[in-house]
């Protein structure tokens, strides 16, 4: 959607360039600082809107920017001694301090506005609860002034577009933040990758979240999967309400986040349905801002290590969508005692954690490194056995190694599974009868570091269509790696190997040869020229004699 | 024909590398094979011995298959030996002919390679190997050993013809080198005392364009072919239409147009690799090449032969700059001194070269046809589409009666069998091995 707005794109590029030139070259650090600025701007906008709403209806309204605020370091003083340090809250408002001169603005934001945000401590927004460790590090007055101006300009353009093009302000805002996030092209410090949004959309199509489902992501990062589920559900509501403006995006997926598409009741349900956890507080802040910018006012994200003893949410989720970190390792003593796998590999522990989190009948769509599919270690096999025996493993979709570039070249796969047995249940009959395999060749983007959009959506739409119409009775052709079934017993006999290459039949293009007799005749003619058979028998040349013997054998 | 899994018809023995201190080159112990590097056309070459007590053995008639880096190459073991971790031995069971199995794997090297997994290097597991399906001639409920033998005989015949043709071509190359030495001696030592001259004095030399002169949009399909080192094969220019230059760019960069009789020389990679332009079609000198345009009375073929086929090549190699990759610059080539014998002698040599090249081309065509024949016969044989009825199994290839003497203790033969007579003997023994094995087991 943003590709149709070159003006905003240009402003965002400028913003990034200013941070780069201003001394913050790490995109993750830059986006974090930009997020704080956006939050300041957002508080002001919301407050102004609420104020004007209250005036219109005549109701009393108490603005958070009324009164005075005393910095924490002075709060232990007597009241009269605090007076010199009192700050008029009005000056903490974006629309107020944006007019300050550069030096004054930097000092003001550093020592007053930012601490004021942190001081909210969740009283105004869940976001501020997670700002405990946040640090404002914009180093230069010039950078701050430029950033504030650019953000204002971006908001002005969004407002103008909203009026002129009829697109909801909320939707444009969300796209803007997503575009900002796309600049993060390096992995987080715990091995997190930002999942490409078209892969998230694909997974949403496979697991089909519904309004009212409790939806979780135990390693949510910037909230991409929760957002993907949210947009899928909103689109579903819009479709059912007869919306005629739904068009596929460049990847072939139909998505809208038109806020007007659903009523307040649906919104209230949906806002309380999305749960995310991450071990990285920076990611939590970015994730919360991402969801807020898309219209979810109070995201239910929390800083939590979902593999550790402190996390205990069994049997609670109808939908899980996740891309857990691949290369992590955890200290053995910290592992949640409910987990049965004897390993410290996080990619395996997350599999078991997600199975545990699901309600019976709940479905997960998750990304794993391909090593999980065929690793022969004991824990690898045990993890796969859980997926196949205790769950109905619906699909294994392997992805080419370029999908996560430029983060990493690792090969990955999507697993779709539905929980049938809980940990305490005895498996009377394996939950999986057949597993559907699909080898994705292309995801619609070049598989090099540039990841350029191709003319087609690759295999994405083919996967959705075939997954929805798959039938174990008819899809037995092992020669087609794009959609075939393998029976449970065969998988078990192969040590629960889940790699499609183990089961597919290789098709080799057969070389078309001339008939051997034709080749032999040509070989003989090249040696002695054209001769009749009688004279050929007289030729003494060793090669010719051997060729004639061959001709006698082959005919 | 019946498809049978390898695990049903053969034992698969994974190699294991003994301690390296047990390796030696003094022929102590048994020959030791580690991987594809030991492979030749058919039988492995002995480069190392090993006297370790702890080892994995391969026996005559085992098929040695490379199981890692790369996967799929095969050779036929011809003596008791020790195999390292890079190899597995496939030992045919009763009723399965070793040569037949060898030819099957020879034909399917590429397919086996695809089964390899791994990111740093490819390898294949025993489990996967054992699942490979082998088509086996079948009759009366059991493998048909006679038909396996017939197929092996047939493919062996074509194989030996291919080997003869390859030798003929190699012999012609040797003939030219010997002719040059006889006529002119060694161009570096110059023991015959010919006048020498720098290439720069008889020709102009130009390096190919810098990479920055050519952009992505300049490359097209079916344009003017670029000549880079990879386009010089065995002294001949082989253009690639898929990577060529647009006409506009070609017109723009006139300094790099190639003309008939230019000698194009590789600047990097294999030092001394070169080819002569033998066409008037438009060609363009690539960034990886330079070209020599002769301006005095001197035969391009005579120049090319010295650069590519004599000790001058080694001399050039030693003069090339660069650590990671050797690099040849125009100054080095310009300063290179080549022989300058009288023109009549050059003419005589060039005439010989042209005659031999024509003969070589004829043999190469024959070789290509033989290889096509081998492919066609292999394909039909392993699909059961060949009429084998007219292939006789020779008397000497039939199993000999086995005496009821005490079993002979296996004595490893450490002599390298280079003579063709012994090779012939060995091949006959192999063709017989399947049947002998069967008989042996029956008796015991």
Judge whether B158 is closer than 8 Å to chain A, CB to CB: yes
What are the structure tokens assigned to B5, written together? 């899994």
Residues 380 through 439 of chain A touching chain B, CB cutoff 8 Å: none
Please tell me whether residue A319 adopts helix, strand or coil conformation: strand
Count CB-CB contacts under 10 A for residue A40: 22
Nearest CA in chain A to B391: A553
Q: What angle do CA B389, B394, B396 make, to 5 degrees?
A: 160
Judge whether B376 is closer than 8 Å to chain A, CB to CB: yes
Q: Which residue has the tokens 């013997």?
A: A549
CB proximity list for A354: less than 8 A, separation 6 or greater: A218, A320, A322, A324, A364, A366
pLDDT of residue B323: 58
Q: Which of A550, A552, A555 is the best mutation test for B, with the most CBs of B within 10 A?
A: A550
Mean pLDDT of chain B: 85
Asked if B380 and A516 come within 8 Å (Cβ–Cβ), the reply is: yes
Contact B416, B46 (CB under 8 A): yes
Asked if A519 and B390 come within 8 Å (Cβ–Cβ), the reply is: no
Asked if B373 and A516 come within 8 Å (Cβ–Cβ), the reply is: yes
> Is pLDDT of B342 > 80?
yes
Please tell me whether residue A431 adopts helix, strand or coil conformation: coil
Q: Which residues on chain B are in Cβ contact (under 8 Å) with A519?
A: 369, 372-373, 376
Mean pLDDT of chain A: 86
- For A523, the closest of B160, B369, B386 (CB atoms) is B369
- For A511, the closest of B366, B369, B375 (CB atoms) is B375
> Is pLDDT of B428 > 60?
no
Q: Which residue has the tokens 């030219």?
A: B176
pLDDT tens digit string along A277-315? 998 888 888 888 888 888 787 889 988 889 988 888 889
pLDDT of residue A173: 81
pLDDT of residue A465: 93
Omega before A406 cis (within 30°)?
A: yes
CA atoms within 13 A on the CB side of A363: 17
Q: Which residue has the tokens 């590398």?
A: B17
Asked if B373 and A553 come within 8 Å (Cβ–Cβ), the reply is: no
Q: Which of A411, A446, A523, A527 is the best mutation test for B, with the most CBs of B within 10 A?
A: A523
Nearest CA in chain B to A524: B366
d(CA A182, CA A164): 27
CA distance A149 to chain B (A): 39
Q: Which of B376, B386, B390 is the best mutation test for A, with the most CBs of A within 10 A?
A: B376
pLDDT of residue A130: 82
pLDDT tens digit string along B298-307? 999 999 999 9
d(CA A323, CA A219): 7
- For B111, the closest of A508, A550, A555 (CB atoms) is A508
> Is pLDDT of A123 > 90?
no
d(CA A408, CA A451): 12
Count CB-CB contacts under 10 A for residue B433: 18
Q: Which residues on chain A are in Cβ contact (under 8 Å) with B126?
A: none
Nearest CA in chain B to A525: B366
Strands A215-217 and B10-14: unpaired
Nearest CA in chain B to A501: B115
CA distance A513 to chain B (A): 5
A228: exposed, middle or buried (Cβ count in 10 Å: 0-12, 13-18, 19+): buried
Count CB-CB contacts under 10 A for residue A295: 19
d(CA B254, CA B215): 17
Judge whether A84 is closer than 8 Å to chain B, CB to CB: no
Q: What angle do CA A227, A281, A185 make, to 5 degrees?
A: 65
CA distance B118 to chain A (A): 10
Q: Which of B373, B394, B424 is the best mutation test for A, with the most CBs of A within 10 A?
A: B373
Contact A131, A116 (CB under 8 A): no
Omega before B70 cis (within 30°)?
A: yes
Asked if A526 and B362 come within 8 Å (Cβ–Cβ), the reply is: yes
Judge whether A529 is closer than 8 Å to chain B, CB to CB: no
Q: Residue A138: name the closest of A33, A32, A224 by CA.
A: A33
Contact B258, B264 (CB under 8 A): yes
CA distance A502 to chain B (A): 9
In this structure, of A473-477, B119-123, B399-403, B429-433, the range with the lowest mean pLDDT score is: B399-403
pLDDT tens digit string along B199-233? 999 999 999 998 888 887 888 888 999 999 999 99
d(CA B29, CA B52): 8
pLDDT of residue B423: 38
Of all residues in chain B, what percent are helix, strand and coil, respectively (each to 5)?
40, 20, 35
Region A486-508 average pLDDT:
86
Pairwise pLDDT comparison (A325 vs B30), residue with the higher score: B30
> Is pLDDT of A264 > 80?
no
């Amino acid at each position: 959607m943003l590709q149709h707005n070159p003006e905003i794109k240009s402003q965002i590029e400028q913003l990034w360039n200013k941070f780069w030139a201003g001394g913050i070259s790490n995109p993750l650090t830059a986006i974090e600082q930009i997020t704080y600025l956006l939050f300041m701007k957002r508080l002001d906008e919301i407050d102004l809107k609420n104020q004007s709403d209250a005036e219109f209806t005549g109701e009393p309204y108490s603005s958070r920017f009324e009164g005075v605020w005393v910095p924490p370091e002075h709060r232990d003083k007597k009241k009269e001694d605090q007076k010199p340090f009192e700050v008029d809250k009005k000056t903490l408002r974006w629309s107020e301090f944006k007019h300050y001169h550069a030096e004054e603005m930097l000092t003001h934001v550093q020592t007053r506005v930012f601490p004021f945000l942190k001081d909210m401590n969740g009283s105004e927004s869940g976001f501020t609860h997670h700002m405990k460790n946040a640090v404002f590090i914009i180093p230069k007055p010039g950078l701050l002034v430029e950033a504030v101006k650019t953000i204002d300009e971006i908001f002005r353009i969004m407002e103008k577009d909203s009026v002129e093009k009829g697109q909801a302000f909320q939707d444009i805002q969300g796209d803007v933040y997503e575009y900002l996030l796309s600049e993060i092209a390096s992995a987080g410090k715990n091995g997190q990758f930002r999942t490409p949004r078209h892969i998230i959309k694909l997974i949403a199509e496979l697991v089909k979240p519904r309004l009212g489902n409790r939806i979780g992501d135990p390693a949510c990062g910037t909230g991409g999967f929760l957002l993907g589920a949210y947009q899928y559900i909103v689109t579903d509501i819009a479709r059912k309400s007869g919306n005629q403006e739904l068009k596929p995006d460049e990847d072939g997926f139909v998505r809208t986040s038109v806020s007007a598409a659903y009523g307040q009741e649906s919104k209230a349900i949906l806002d309380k349905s999305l749960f995310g956890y991450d071990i990285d507080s920076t990611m939590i802040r970015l994730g919360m801002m991402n969801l807020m910018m898309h219209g979810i006012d109070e995201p239910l994200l929390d800083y939590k290590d979902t593999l550790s003893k402190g996390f205990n949410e069994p049997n609670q989720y109808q939908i899980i969508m996740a891309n857990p970190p691949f290369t992590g390792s955890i200290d053995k003593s910290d592992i949640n005692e409910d987990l049965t796998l004897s390993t410290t590999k996080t990619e395996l522990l997350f599999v078991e954690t997600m199975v545990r989190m699901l309600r019976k009948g709940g479905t997960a769509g998750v990304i794993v490194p391909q090593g999980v599919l065929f690793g022969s270690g004991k824990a690898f096999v045990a993890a796969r056995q859980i997926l196949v025996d205790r769950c109905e493993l619906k699909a294994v979709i392997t992805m080419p190694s370029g999908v996560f570039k430029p983060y990493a070249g690792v090969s990955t796969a999507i697993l779709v599974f539905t929980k049938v047995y809980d940990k305490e249940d005895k498996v009377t009959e394996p939950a999986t009868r057949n597993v559907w395999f699909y080898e994705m060749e292309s995801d619609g983007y070049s598989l090099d570091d540039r990841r350029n959009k191709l003319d087609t959506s690759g295999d994405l739409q083919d996967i959705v269509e075939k997954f929805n119409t798959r039938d174990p009775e008819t899809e037995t052709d092992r020669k087609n790696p794009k959609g075939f079934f393998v029976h449970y017993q065969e998988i078990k006999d192969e040590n629960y190997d889940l790699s499609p290459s183990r089961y597919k039949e290789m098709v080799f293009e057969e070389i078309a040869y001339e008939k051997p007799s034709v080749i032999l005749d040509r070989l003989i003619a090249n040696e002695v020229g054209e001769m009749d058979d009688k004279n050929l028998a007289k030729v003494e040349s060793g090669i010719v004699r051997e060729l004639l013997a061959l001709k006698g054998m082959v005919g | 024909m019946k498809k049978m899994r390898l695990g049903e018809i053969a034992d698969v023995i994974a190699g294991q590398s003994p301690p390296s201190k047990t390796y030696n080159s003094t022929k102590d112990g048994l020959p030791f094979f580690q991987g594809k590097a030991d492979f030749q056309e058919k039988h492995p070459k002995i480069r190392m011995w090993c006297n370790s007590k702890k080892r994995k053995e391969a026996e005559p008639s085992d098929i040695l298959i490379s199981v890692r880096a790369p996967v799929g190459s095969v050779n036929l073991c011809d003596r008791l030996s020790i195999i390292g971790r890079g190899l597995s031995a496939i030992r045919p069971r009763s009723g399965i002919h070793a040569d037949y199995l060898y030819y099957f794997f020879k034909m399917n090297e590429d397919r086996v390679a695809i089964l390899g997994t791994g990111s740093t290097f490819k390898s294949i597991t025993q489990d996967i190997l054992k699942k490979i399906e082998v088509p086996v001639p079948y009759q009366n409920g059991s493998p048909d050993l006679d038909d396996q033998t017939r197929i092996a005989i047939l493919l062996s015949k074509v194989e030996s013809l291919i080997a003869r043709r390859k030798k003929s071509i190699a012999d012609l190359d040797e003939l030219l080198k010997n002719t040059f030495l006889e006529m002119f001696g060694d161009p570096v030592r110059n023991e015959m005392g010919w006048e020498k001259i720098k290439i720069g004095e008889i020709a102009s030399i130009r390096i190919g364009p810098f990479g920055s002169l050519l952009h992505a949009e300049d490359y097209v399909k079916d344009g003017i072919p670029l000549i880079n080192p990879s386009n010089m094969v065995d002294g001949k220019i082989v253009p690639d239409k898929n990577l060529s230059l647009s006409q506009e760019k070609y017109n723009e960069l006139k300094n790099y147009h190639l003309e008939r009789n230019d000698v194009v020389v590789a600047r990097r990679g294999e030092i001394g690799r070169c080819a002569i332009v033998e066409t008037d079609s438009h060609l363009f000198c690539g960034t990886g090449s330079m070209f020599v345009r002769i301006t005095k009375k001197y035969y391009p073929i005579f120049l090319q032969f010295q650069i590519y086929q004599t000790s001058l090549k080694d001399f050039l190699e030693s003069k090339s700059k660069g650590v990671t990759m050797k690099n040849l610059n125009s100054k080095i080539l310009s300063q290179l001194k080549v022989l300058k014998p009288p023109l009549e002698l050059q003419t005589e040599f060039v005439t010989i070269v042209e005659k031999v090249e024509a003969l070589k081309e004829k043999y190469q065509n024959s070789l290509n046809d033989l290889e096509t024949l081998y492919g066609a016969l292999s394909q039909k044989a392993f699909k059961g589409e060949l009429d084998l009825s007219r292939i006789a199994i020779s008397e000497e290839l039939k199993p000999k009666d086995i005496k009821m003497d005490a079993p002979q203790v296996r004595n490893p033969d450490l002599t390298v069998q280079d003579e063709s007579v012994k090779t012939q003997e060995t091949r006959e023994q192999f063709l017989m091995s399947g049947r002998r094995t069967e008989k042996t087991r029956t008796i015991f």
